[in-house]
Amino acid sequence: MKILEIEGGNTLSGTVRVSGSKNSAVALIPAAILSDEEVTICNVPEITDTKALYEILKYLGADVTKNSESIVIEPSHIENKEIPARLSKKLRASYYFMGALLGKYGSVKMCFPGGCSIGARPINLHLKGFEALGATIKEEDNCYIVEAKELCGANIYLDFASVGATINIMLAAVKAKGTTVIDNAAKEPEIVNVATLLNNMGAKITGAGTSTIKIRGVSSLKGCFHEVIPDRIEAGTYIIIGACCGDHLKIENIIPEHVESLTSKLQEAGVKLEIGTDSMIVTRADHLKAIQVKTQTYPGFPTDLQQPLSVFLTQCQGKSKIEETIYENRFMHVPYLHQMGADIRTKNQTVTIIGPTQLIADEVVATDLRAGAALIIAGLIARGKTQITSVEHILRGYEQIIEKLTSIGANIKEREI
């Protein structure tokens, strides 16, 4: 079993470079199979989630070549085979093969996706979208058979602006006959990144990044070159690390607008940020004050950063609150922070954090990806040696996190026990 050991208390400085976005890359990779020709994607992060998608691509018969800067996906030999649970369960984003295979072949058979246990995470809105496009859906033993005689454009209203459903419907609709309109679409930057790839392949998508996306179906898609945007959640994690224990910590390869909901909250708490065009310098401030945060869809405060932020709030003077509105079960890191000495209470979907508190190292578990990130931050500022187990959750989403943290002065090691 792998564990992480962190000796807390170091001040971190130097430069950390943000990788390509996990949540973009995991949609771009399945999207590439819609092309009839080779697709090259650069800046794909080397994380276990992208590796799991390459496995699915290879299982389906695609050629995947990795170069130092990019991956090349050659989809012309793909076979529309059932994707078994052993592959789909490895990650949430395996569900993008549903939209991509349905869009390419008019049918798909695959088992329910995996991913972090942070709530029920149904896929009813994805299925509703496929049905609106003319597909029928059968569910057997947690596997879905989605079939359409012909996919036809439709008007689809999403009850919730779901990232996954918006992308999956775009993938299924891109080659459908006629025009599809998605209303109350998700507006996250990852949606724009996927729409840009599809448009580079010859699709006709407008409105990505707004709540109404229009997709005019095309008959074929061609190869292209595309770049993954910087990971705004990884960027946000390092910005929070800088706010907790940084001294002129420079975070580069960021799009400041993508992390504005975080940076404005940190500034409200008293953090001084030097914001450049594609980088940011963060230093821990002496006097930090409590703030109130509510998670929302983009451009609101991202749910994926509330767990890391909660650790920062243990360092602020007064009573902070975080209300989680996206997932029902995203406070699994709280008992461990409590164990480390934080004054933190959960009531329904809100945590109250009273600070400042000196955290004390302990043995903790990374129950999910962002809980793991939060516990790393806690370990970095705690007194003593923190041990984190279930490290595999963290490696699903943060490229070279140990190397990156070590390079800016953290005392963090991976150990096999």
Q: Is 398 in the site for ligand EPU (CB under 6 A)?
A: no
The question of whether 116 is a catalytic residue gets the answer yes
Closest residue to ligand EPU, based on beta-carbon distance: 164
Return the C-alpha torsion angle 134, 87, 4, 346, nearest 10. 40
Beta bridge partners of residue 122, listed in sequence order: none
Q: Given the complex with ligand EPU, which of 163 and 281 has the nearer CB atom? A: 163
Ordered alpha helix ranges (H), 1-47: 22-31
d(CA 409, CA 12): 5
Q: Which of 17, 121, 226, 284 binds ligand EPU (CB under 6 A)?
A: 121
Q: Given the complex with ligand EPU, which of 8 and 103 has the nearer CB atom? A: 103
- CB contact set of 199 (below 8 Å; sequence gap of 6+): 205
Q: Which of residues 312-341 bind ligand EPU (CB under 6 A)?
A: 326-327
Strand 272-275 and strand 279-283: the pairing is antiparallel
Q: Is 4 in the site for ligand EPU (CB under 6 A)?
A: no
Q: Which of 6, 12, 25, 26 binds ligand EPU (CB under 6 A)?
A: 26
- Encoding tokens for residue 390? 């279930």
For residue 103, the minimal CB distance to ligand EPU (Å) is 17
d(CA 208, CA 212): 7
Q: Which of 39, 73, 125, 380 binds ligand EPU (CB under 6 A)?
A: 125
With CB under 6 A as the contact rule, which of the stretches 130-138, 143-151, 156-164, 175-183 interacts with ligand EPU? 156-164
d(CA 24, CA 192): 9
Per DSSP, the residues of 258-283 read GGHHHHHHHHHHT-EEEE-SSEEEEE
Q: Which of 23, 261, 357, 367 binds ligand EPU (CB under 6 A)?
A: 23
Q: Is 122 in the site for ligand EPU (CB under 6 A)?
A: yes
The half-sphere exposure of 187 on its side-chain side, counting CA atoms within 13 A, is: 15
First vs last C-alpha separation in the chain? 5
Q: Are 215 and 205 in contact (CB under 8 A)?
A: yes
Q: Given the complex with ligand EPU, which of 122 and 178 has the nearer CB atom? A: 122
d(CA 215, CA 236): 31
Q: Is 51 in the site for ligand EPU (CB under 6 A)?
A: no
| Interaction pattern, residues 229-258, with ligand EPU; x per rule: CB under 6 A | ----x-------------------------
Q: Given the complex with ligand EPU, which of 229 and 361 has the nearer CB atom? A: 229
Q: Given the complex with ligand EPU, which of 52 and 361 has the nearer CB atom? A: 52
105 Rama sector, left if φ>0, alpha if ψ -120 to 50, beta otherwise: alpha
d(CA 413, CA 54): 28
Q: Given the complex with ligand EPU, which of 329 and 411 has the nearer CB atom? A: 329
Q: Given the complex with ligand EPU, which of 158 and 288 has the nearer CB atom? A: 158
Q: Is 168 in the site for ligand EPU (CB under 6 A)?
A: no
Q: How many secondary structure helices (H) and strands (E) does the chain include?
A: 14, 23
- CB contact set of 43 (below 8 Å; sequence gap of 6+): 19, 20, 69, 70, 227, 228, 229, 230
Which residue, 374, 341, 375, 344, is CA-closest to 360? 341
Q: Given the complex with ligand EPU, which of 158 and 282 has the nearer CB atom? A: 158
d(CA 312, CA 258): 20
Q: Is 291 in the site for ligand EPU (CB under 6 A)?
A: no
Helices 96-105/163-173 angle, 10° precision: 10
d(CA 262, CA 312): 12
Q: Is 304 in the site for ligand EPU (CB under 6 A)?
A: yes
Q: Which of the following is catalytic: 42, 111, 116, 224? A: 116
| Interaction pattern, residues 263-282, with ligand EPU; x per rule: CB under 6 A | --------------------
Q: Is 377 in the site for ligand EPU (CB under 6 A)?
A: no
Q: Is 182 in the site for ligand EPU (CB under 6 A)?
A: no
| Interaction pattern, residues 184-213, with ligand EPU; x per rule: CB under 6 A | --x---------------------------
For residue 66, the minimal CB distance to ligand EPU (Å) is 21
| Interaction pattern, residues 68-107, with ligand EPU; x per rule: CB under 6 A | ------------------------xx--------------
Give the footprint of ligand EPU on this chain (CB under 6 A).
Answer: 23, 26, 92-93, 116, 119-126, 160, 162-165, 186, 233, 303-304, 326-327, 369-370, 397
Catalytic residues: 116
